[in-house]
Structure 1
């Protein structure tokens, strides 16, 4: 699948980049160095430019094999990275995916996550024909709960099995409409 850019109003969603025109790696390393970010995003460590390059390359490969749609949330006039939003674990046969979003520490509290995730959800239902999008977060991540509510998700439950962080996961679901 080819990456798609999305006009999200105050922001635009584009593929992560690390080229001579636009380089998201410094902002990625800043975000992933933040203690709060590391607390909630457990699967990745981006401490060096090489690790950030691998991350950008991974996201490109995931688009290509229709495994994950991942967008840099960007400031429209400069292209500056403000966060990332995605639809992962794509199953186009069954019409399902799981949403994810994070915001750069310097940009938290500005409504970026809600705007970006809402745009990604619209693309998932309208552009990909998804029938269900789930969302999950650690129970202590109250900001993620607010994002889920504002994006129209319905809380399903709290997982009985703790997450790799040793904390319960809250699960949400959203259908088209």
Structure 2
């Protein structure tokens, strides 16, 4: 599956990026994620449908302030996880609501908070 963007009110959710236009790696490092292959891994997981992840972003700057992930289970459920940079809890909360709707409505899976 190709990554799907989600509008979450004051925030927007998009696939993680590390290219000439947008580089999420500094924000990921703020979240303790320093693996140089992390963005490529998340991109591959979208393609093989084993994990879906979103950068929760400020719409005006595209700055990543949180990450939300969905891991489908074999039992019709999906584990939902997330982390947030300091000062942006509202972004994570709003993003989680939108991802819960996506998980149940689009993927047809029962969301389960795993954070």
TM over 0.5: yes
**More relative contact order, 1 or 2 (CA 8 Å, 6+ apart):** 2
Q: Highest Rg: 1 or 2? A: 1
Please say if 1:80 is aligned against 2:63: yes
Q: How does 1:134-145 map to 2 (within 5 A)?
A: 134-137=112-115
Gapped regions of structure 2 (runs ≥ 5) = none
Aligned to 1:61: 44
- 4+ residue runs over 6 A deviation: none
Q: TM-score, normalised by structure 1?
A: 0.61
1:95 aligns with 2:76: yes
Q: Unpaired runs of 5+ in structure 1?
A: 33-44, 138-177
Alignment of 1:1-177 (within 5 A): 1-32=1-32, 45-46=33-34, 51=35, 53-88=36-71, 90-91=72-73, 94-105=75-86, 107-109=87-89, 111-130=90-109, 132-137=110-115
Indicate how the Cα distance of structure 1 residues 21 and 12 shifts in structure 2: closer, same or farther if over 3 A, else same.
same
Give me the whole-angstrom Cα distance separating, in 2, the residues matched to 1:24 and 1:124.
24
Q: How many residues align?
A: 115
